[in-house]
Structures are given as structure tokens and as C-alpha cells.
Structure 1
């Protein structure tokens, strides 16, 4: 039987979220009406999304040996995520993200990486075989770049499909890009990678083609309510978004990436996988929080049926 496992390598953060009228400018104090904590981190969000949407997921992350780390371990187990390769740091705390969400659902995020930043290549040696045998490797950039580069190289050398979510924006070598099957930047990240200011579909296409020219096989530029631009095999197409009332965009990109990985592990075409990912992400922005907003598979199916009627 073909291996369907999705290995996610990435961060875990405890999100501390403040809902406010507007995001403060430097020097400004804004009084807020609500605060809550919610498990997050790009890697953790994507792993939870994969599991809730029906994928078989193995999560590799580094946690602090603290109360948040223990909570994460239990939460991941409850979500049905394979936690065999979770790592623990006895010196650094678990990662924390401070998130401000305005009345339009837009957010501003500051991350204290903690144990995420101490992940090393040697930490991943015990997981080498599961990486090599995976159907898909899903990675982001909230862990050290040398770890990202090593795990992508390891997967690519064994014909594992690699999805790289280049967030937060960082320098990516052309050698790394040639090993990536699907790159999924948002407009900000696409701009940072290419130097092209991405403000609409035309500029997004120009940026995506420039990224493809660097050796990436497929590029998906996520553009929120504008939809997603897919460039595959030299051809670009627009996958429209689902119109919803946005409450909070936190983790929408992570839901998109997790859903994309699940759909591809089920042998859906790239175009159909992007459409499925867009639908899952659309549901997530109608809810507050990171992992609290991630939909389950039956919710996406119900949403698809409603759209078809």
C-alpha cells in the first residue's frame, strides 16, 4: 500500500491573543475588550489541520519542559497526531506568540521562539526514516534554517513531495528552492522572495513565474479574499476564494497548507487540492484563534455541499 503519511516539521507556540478595535501604532496604547490563550505555532497548526481534515500526520517539533510543553503534548495526542518524535528542551521555554486582532480580522504577531529556535539537525536523526518514507513533507520557517534545509534535502533525495510554506519571510537559496515541489507564499512573502511588489493577480503571476524560474516546480500564492494563484508547469490559473465574513485570519495560511497536503496525499490534482485548501481556510477565518479555528473534514464537506446547491 502506498504510504500516505504527512510529516510536518515546525514550531509550536502558545498564542496569547488580544481582540481590539485596531492594531496600535508605535507608542500607542489601546484598551481592549477580550483576551484568550490558544495553542498555535505554524507547525502545530498545520499538523492539527492535517489530522482534523483526515490526514495521517507525524509531527516533529521542539517544546520546552514546562507547563505549555506538557499541554501541547497532550493536545497533540488528543488530536490523533503521531507524537513519537516530539523533542524537549530542558533550558528554553516553549514558544509564545503575542497576537493582536483588529475588528476587520487582520492580525499583528510577535513570536518569542523559545525551544523552537534550539531545534538542531542532530535532533532529527531519529526521525530520518519516517521523513524518507513519507508521502509529503510540510515545512515552514519558524525553526532554524539549517534544520529546514536539511529536512528538505533529506526528503527530496528520497522522492518525497516537499511543500514549503515560506513563513515568516526569510532568504531562500536557489539550491533549496530546486528541491521544493510546492511553494506557498502569501503576497508579503512572494514580494520578499522576488522583489516584486505583489498587490494584485497580475503582480502575483509575475512573482510566481520568477519563483518558478528559480527552480520551484509549483507555486501557490495565497491572496486571502482574492483567492489563490496557482502556477504549475508554466501555466497560471486563479482559484477563487469562498466569500465569508472574516473574524480572524490567524492560522488561515496554516489551515490552507495542511489541507493542501491532505488533498495531495489523497491523489487529488493540484488544482483540486488548492480549491479544497481554500475552502478549509475560508471556514477558519470565520472563527477566533489559531487551532480553535481549524475545521474538521465533515465541516469542509458540508461547506462544499452548501456551495453546490
Structure 2
């Protein structure tokens, strides 16, 4: 089973804070660390750790960070033929601030990710045809995202679109995805509707379905996840844990959902397992380092 991830990679620069400083204020922070991140890379790593073959299509910087990202992908057994350095460009970075309650605030600097273009999708076409699904996010050029959706539709490869970070989207493309997977904040920004409860999430997701989106899955953090189609609505309950760091939990959900959906063929079962996998990731610090292997996951007793 092979899945393609066409998307971003970042180096996470993680600062643990007691609180965010006010404008002009300097505060001492308890800790700092670096790690591999980026929404595309995170989702790919979750898939790889679960045992899926992963074709990664991304751009890395012509710097130490970029070389480290490529080596990390190779160490995880990914197909890296389309992980290409951009001469003179810095790698993408993501400064992340995590507070005492495990909440996070994130900035992204796209760097080399901006250089991933539609032509890169075309160059990978022969290998993309061997994949069972394509996963996309919005940390790369939107034209590349739309081109990949077009390509997937023409070639019969279903697409999962994670609209993160949220952006104005052309729904002529969104309607052609197999699954549209926003979180609460992204759903609110995309629909212009409030999303402060599961019921409000239902209403906002229904508006997308009325606009022609076939499957909307909303990740609700500690409230579980929601699946809405034209004929069905299912709220999948959360897995209750004590979080340490929620960074990357949404990516853990998407990677694990994709793996179990392709393996088992059932959306609700895949969502239930993805809720558990994402919850488990929040009990460990870091992003990709918090993702576990399939063997570790399947022997974890919640």
C-alpha cells in the first residue's frame, strides 16, 4: 500500500513558554528544542511509522536544515526521489510556542516550500499512478494543490485535502476531493460560520456538503471528530488522555486515518483509530517524535 504526500516540510523551532509576551516585553522561556515538522512531512511520517509506503513530493532548502530533512525521510524508509533541494533557498521553518496547558501557537516561514510547482507533480506522475491516495495541504503554492487535485481526478487517484493553514479556496477544486479534512478553526475561517461546539461544526460542515463537497471530516481536538456527508452525520467520540503537547495532533489524525481507511475500507473505524492515534501523540513532547509505530500503537491500552 503506497500513499503520496505532496506538500510541505519544516524544521520546528519549539519554545516552551509560561505565557506569550506582551508587545515590547521580554520574557524568559523555560526550554527550547528543534525537530522535524511541516504539515506534509508530519502526515507522511505518521504514515511511514504505521508501516505505509510513502512517496514524498516536496522541496527542501539548500542548507543544513534541508539536508537534515532529506536524511530523516530516508531513515524512515520513504521514497525520496522527488525530495529536491532548491539552490540558494532556505528550508521552511516553523517557530512554535507551547504553553503550560499544552496549547500551541505557530508561525510558518515557507522557504523552499514555495518552489514546489505544478511541474513537480507532472514529473512524479509515473510514480504517483502507483499510489492509492494523494494527501495535500496548503503550506505550498495553491496552484500546485489545484494541479494535484486535477491530476488525481484524471488518473483515478483519490485526494485528501487538509486546508491548513486556512485560505480562500476555489470550491470547483475542493468538490473533487475524496475527503476534505479541516479542524475547527479552519472550518470557521473557510465557511465564515462560528464553530465553537460540535453542533456548530455540524452546521458549518453541512454548508460545505450543500456546496458539493462529498465527505467532510472535522477534527475537533478533545471533542473527537465529525464526519458529514449528504446522507450521514457521525460524531466519533474522543479518546481521553492528559495532553503534554498538542503540536502535530491533526497531522497524526490525517496520516493514521488515511492508513486505516485504506487498510480497512471503513471511514468510521478509521476515524476511531485516528482519534486514538492523535490522542496518543499529545501525551508525548514534540511533533514527529510523538508519533508511534503501528506495533506501539496497537499494543497501547487506553
TM-score by length of 1: 0.95
Structure 1: segments with no counterpart, 5+ residues: none
C-alpha distance in 2, partners of 1:117/1:126?
A: 17
Count how many residue pairs are aligned between Structure 1 and Structure 2: 302
Distance 1:292 1:6, change over 3 A: same
Is the contact between residue 243 and residue 282 of structure 2 (CA under 8 Å) also seen in structure 1? Answer: yes
Q: Corresponding residue for 2:20?
A: 23
- 1:226 paired to 2:223: yes
Q: Corresponding residue for 1:248?
A: 245
Q: Corresponding residue for 2:288?
A: 291
- 1:166 paired to 2:163: yes
Is the contact between residue 15 and residue 38 of structure 1 (CA under 8 Å) also seen in structure 2? Answer: yes
Distance 1:26 1:268, change over 3 A: farther
Structure 2: segments with no counterpart, 5+ residues: none
- 1:81 paired to 2:78: yes
CA RMSD of aligned residues (A): 1.2
Return 115-124 or 166-175, whichever deviates more.
115-124
Is the contact between residue 210 and residue 230 of structure 2 (CA under 8 Å) also seen in structure 1? Answer: no
Secondary structure of the equivalent of 1:51?
A: helix
Q: CA deviation at 1:204?
A: 0.3
Q: CA deviation at 1:233?
A: 4.1
Counterpart among 113, 118, 121 of residue 110 in structure 2: 113
Q: Corresponding residue for 1:10?
A: 7
Q: CA deviation at 1:63?
A: 0.3
Q: Corresponding residue for 1:257?
A: 254
Secondary structure of the equivalent of 1:133?
A: coil
Once the two structures are superposed, what CA deviation does each residue of 1:185-231 show, in whole Å capped at 9, x if it has no partner? 01110001111110001100001111112221111111111111111
Secondary structure of the equivalent of 1:112?
A: coil
Is the contact between residue 59 and residue 86 of structure 1 (CA under 8 Å) also seen in structure 2? Answer: yes
Counterpart among 269, 273, 276 of residue 272 in structure 1: 269
Counterpart among 33, 57, 62 of residue 59 in structure 2: 62
- 1:131 paired to 2:121: no
Counterpart among 167, 187, 197 of residue 200 in structure 1: 197
Q: CA deviation at 1:177?
A: 1.2
C-alpha distance in 2, partners of 1:55/1:231?
A: 27
C-alpha distance in 2, partners of 1:161/1:63?
A: 26
Is the contact between residue 165 and residue 186 of structure 2 (CA under 8 Å) also seen in structure 1? Answer: yes
Secondary structure of the equivalent of 1:258?
A: helix
Secondary structure of the equivalent of 1:266?
A: helix
Secondary structure of the equivalent of 1:32?
A: coil
Secondary structure of the equivalent of 2:72?
A: helix
Is the contact between residue 23 and residue 108 of structure 1 (CA under 8 Å) also seen in structure 2? Answer: no
Once the two structures are superposed, what CA deviation does each residue of 1:43-77 show, in whole Å capped at 9, x if it has no partner? 11111100001211111110011111111111111
Secondary structure of the equivalent of 2:34?
A: strand
Counterpart among 176, 183, 196 of residue 180 in structure 2: 183
C-alpha distance in 2, partners of 1:122/1:215?
A: 28
